[in-house]
Structure 1
Amino acid sequence: MPEYILEAENLEFSYMDGTTAIRNLSLKLEKGKKYAVVGNNGAGKSTLFLHFNGVHRPAKGNIKYKGEVVNYSHKRLKELRKNVGVVFQDPDNQLFSASVYQDISFGPVNLGWPEEKIRAKVEQALKRTGTWDFKDKPTHFLSHGQKKRVAIAGILAMEPEVIFLDEPTAGLDPFYCTEMMQLLDDFNQMGATLILSSHDLNEVYAWADYIFVMNSGEIIAEGLPEEIFRNAQVLKTANLGKPWVLEVFDELVKNKALKEQTSVPRKKDQLLDLFSQFQVI
């Protein structure tokens, strides 16, 4: 049976102004997988993420971590947030220390780790995220892309088992988008479970193992990327488009220029590899 590291059961949540953000939402996250949550603005993606590390507490329903219902005592929340990290869309909401090194060390210091362990984990996070060269730089002098990497390093230094990332490539140029997604792949290969939200559906389609679609605070569909993005009704309801790799592939198959494949291409290079099958007319 799959090992679920996080679960949401029948969540309900509304903000103080009465806005209902989450409606009877349930999902399960399997350990070690890469997930994406997609949907238009206001669908509830960010609100959902903040439930999984205890920032928001559901009005109804439960969050489970490793099969146990989350306890909202200070001690248990501290433990949960050590294991479940959230990287915000805007890194300025996450960075507040005078220097990069101080910001990344904040979490480990707050966990009460010995100084030697803190130094080792911070240096490791700096090197993994490519932020070592500006570790002593004030955070407010960093570029947007550098700030994104520092925010991730601050979470990584605490060695979480799960990382939620809200629009991790928003505002980045194509080069740094590629770098960021490779960095997330590296974390996953080291055993971390990753969940991201993104409006870049081409990126999501190429990267995720499994996708949840949100609309008006609900999960309206879930499945493999090629299943989700071939479901015209789901795409219409959630105001989503079809990733171009899948759109091109399906059109070529429809027009008999390519044969239907057992494995549907997810990335550009995979699609290009299939062009050798073109039928000459």
Structure 2
Amino acid sequence: QQLPSFLYRVLSPTNLSVTLAGLNASRQTSGDNLVCHNHKGHILAGSCLYVGMPPEKPVNLTCWSRNTKDLTCSWAPGGRGETNISTQYKLKYKLRWYGTEKECEDYSHSQPYSCSITQDLHLFTPYEIWVEASNLLGQAASDIIILDILDVVTTDPPSGVTVSRVGQLEDQLSVRWVAPPALKDFLFQAKYQIRYRLEDSQDWKVMDDVGNQTSCRLAGLRPGTVYFVQVRCNPVGIYGSRKAGIWSEWSHPTAASTPHSERLMSGSCDSKSSGDSNSTLRRELKQFFGWVLQGDKS
């Protein structure tokens, strides 16, 4: 595409000034070519243009550790987010007092702006963690966060979740589960949550007061109804940590149904059973008192 003459100015036989505005973002990582031709169409010079913006400070840096075996951090680009040109993000970290700076190497392919540290992790020692962003137009760094891995631990979901009836109680179900295996010997103060819903509903009801027990009874349920139940764990207090802990993912849904109610609905009347009851009562009265009712043919 040829530029109109008002966009450039010839400074000398060998120098040209070009002013471009309102350009669309570069569509390819190699940039866009700007080429200068003479009046015969021969190329005199060229340059590669990258149309975009320098990165802004990354924000929302958050980290968590699955079973103390790794440390995963995620973040978001700063400002308007997209720079419109290739931008590289590096997650960096070091032990707060005596560590050397290192770069995270296991970047997620499925989740952008995420990386996991899987080797040489230290417990009971705070880390300094930050993100650096750079492209051809500039660079920026996030704020540094300081954390101890034990304060950001999350576990696997509880396993072995079972849901069963409580005898013939039509409004109750019993829920049992096993503590997450990887940390079960350290979850002395762990908390659990249960949520459940009707089979034909997407609205979950959450029970927060389960505490650190591994069983619970759901009450006030509908008779003859299928319920889906899930459980999750919060490793609060692990290794003496005083932080609130991070909830695990919910366990896979487990289904069970409450017994059907055998009680008659209020205000209903079963005429057949009522008649049978009256006939039985009359026979018992006749036998006990020896009454002979006139016209009775039994």
TM range (shorter): under 0.3
Higher relative contact order (CA closer than 8 Å, sequence separation 6+):
1
Relative to its length, the structure with more strand (as a share) is 2
Relative to its length, the structure with more helix (as a share) is 1
TM-score by length of 1: 0.24
Larger Rg: 2
